[in-house]
Amino acid sequence: MIQNFQGMARRLVTLLRQQGISDPNVLRVVETTPRHQFMPESLAHKAYENTALPIGKGQTISQPLMVASMTQLLMQHHCQKVLEIGTGSGYQTAVLAQLVERVYSVERIAELQYQAKRRLKNLDLHNIQMRHGDGWQGWSSKSPFDGIIVTAAAQSIPQALLDQLADGGVLIIPVGTERQALHVVRRFGDSYEQKQLGDVKFVPLVPGALA
């Protein structure tokens, strides 16, 4: 059991700052969110290392630097209503929920979604709505979103996510299979502006069937 995670979390935040995360709100939330509660207890001693870790069902909790970078990007665009595709452990969801007004999160594996829901409730985070569904479809009835963050790598950018972006909104999505890059897409009316950031490594955004 990890009783006192603050020291370890503080060291993680120092590392994130050295790696270019400068948003004080993002750093504060990473420092106070108990990442060790978002993984199997047998891995909890590694929770404040800057690495992705397995969470079961062949999935991973994303690397803290990636969570912080993507969150910082959403903050730079002043997002308040955010759709997350790939709830996984719920850690990214928890970070977002402490920084924006409302978070919607879609996960295709029921068991992971169930565990994430329990963790988020334990942390008293209630500005979150979750859905067991296919992220390729987004969440049309709740759209438009001023930020959409995908935490699994898509072979191509899902059209539904482009459609569900608000005017001025931003979509952050890893694209590729073996080789993946982080794409940032902004919507201006009917036109979209796209840029590519660095290489990344995510589990695949699986098409179709739920599990």
Beta bridge partners of 195: 184
**Judged by CB under 6 A, does residue 152 bind ligand SAH?**
yes
Distance from C-alpha of 182 to C-alpha of 132, rounded to nearest angstrom = 25
Q: Rule CB under 6 A: which of 6-45 touch ligand SAH? A: none
Strand order in the sheet with 191-200: 128-132, 102-107, 81-85, 145-150, 165-176, 180-188, 191-200
205 in Cβ contact with 135 (< 8 Å): yes
- 62 has catalytic annotation: yes
The candidate with the shortest Cα–Cα distance to 89, out of 171, 152, 32, 147, is 152
CB atoms near residue 8 (< 10 Å): 16
Q: In this structure, what token pair is assigned to residue 190?
A: 């009917």
**Judged by CB under 6 A, does residue 205 bind ligand SAH?**
yes
The candidate with the shortest Cα–Cα distance to 180, out of 161, 149, 152, is 152
Q: Which is nearer to ligand SAH, 86 or 169 (CB)?
A: 86
- What is the pairing mode between strands 102-107 and 128-132? parallel
Q: Rule CB under 6 A: which of 86-105 touch ligand SAH? A: 86, 88-89, 91-92
**Which of 53, 82, 99, 112 touches ligand SAH by CB under 6 A?**
112
Q: Which stretch binds ligand SAH (CB under 6 A): 13-21, 80-88, 117-125, 167-175?
A: 80-88
Give the per-residue contact string, 129-148, with ligand SAH (x = CB under 6 A; - = no). -----xxx------------
Shortest spacing between CB 102 and ligand SAH, in angstroms: 17
Count CA atoms closer than 13 A to 155's CA, side-chain side: 2
Shortest spacing between CB 169 and ligand SAH, in angstroms: 19
163 in Cβ contact with 137 (< 8 Å): no
Shortest spacing between CB 132 and ligand SAH, in angstroms: 9
**Which of 33, 37, 62, 71 touches ligand SAH by CB under 6 A?**
62
Q: Which is nearer to ligand SAH, 27 or 130 (CB)?
A: 130
Beta bridge partners of 132: 107
Q: Which is nearer to ligand SAH, 181 or 203 (CB)?
A: 203
Residues that bind ligand SAH (CB under 6 A): 59-62, 85-86, 88-89, 91-92, 106-109, 112, 134-136, 151-152, 203, 205-206
Q: Which residues are catalytic?
A: 62
